[in-house]
A and B are shown apart, each in its own frame.
Chain A
Amino acid sequence: KNEVEQSPQNLTAQEGEFITINCSYSVGISALHWLQQHPGGGIVSLFMLSSGKKKHGRLIATINIQEKHSSLHITASHPRDSAVYICAVPHSGGGADGLTFGKGTHLIIQP
C-alpha cells in the first residue's frame, strides 16, 4: 500500500510570495494527483500528472518518478489561494485504484 507524506503541514505566507508544497510517496505509481480543498469540504482536482511538469495559471506541478517526489508551486500567491492542498496517489500504484491521500498542507496567504 502506498504511503504519502506531505510537507509542510501548515504554511503561512504573504501575498505575492512563491509557494512550494512537497509530496513523497513509497510505491511506484501511474500518476499523482494534486487536489485543493476549501473550508466546508469541497475538493477540486488541480492536476493529474505522470511525468515532468504541468502548468495551469499560477499553479505548477512537477514530478520526479525516480525519486518518488512531487512539488506543487504557486507563483504570485493571493489570499484566495488559501486552502488545504492535498497530494494523492493510487493506493496500490496504478490503474483505477482508489487514492491514498496525504494529510494535506494548510496554506494561508495573508494580504
Chain B
Amino acid sequence: AQSVTQLGSHVSVSEGALVLLRCNYSSSVPPYLFWYVQYPNQGLQLLLKYTSAATLVKGINGFEAEFKKSETSFHLTKPSAHMSDAAEYFCAVSGTGSARQLTFGSGTQLTVLP
C-alpha cells in the first residue's frame, strides 16, 4: 500500500519569501505523485503531477516540485510567495494497477504574511 506524509500542518511565510512544503511518500512501486491546492469552501485543484517523466515538475501559479527517489520526497516550492497562495495544500500518491486510487496526506495550511 502507498502513503504520503506531509511534514508541518501549518507553514507561515512572508510575502515574497520562498515557499517550501514537504512531502515524503511510501510506495512499493514507482509512484505517480500529485500536489493539490484547496481554497476555502472549494474543491481540490491540481497544482502539478509527477508521472515518471522529468523529475522536476512545473505547475500552475509558479509552483514546482522535484521527485527525489533516493529521499522518497516530492517537496513543493515557489520562489516568491504571493498573498493569493494562502490555501491548504495536499500531497497525494496514486496506486498501481486498475484501481489507481489517490491516497492523500493530511495537508499543510499555508499562511502568507504581508
Partners in one complex: no
Interface residue ranges, A against B (CB under 8 Å): none
Report B's interface with A, CB cutoff 8 A: none
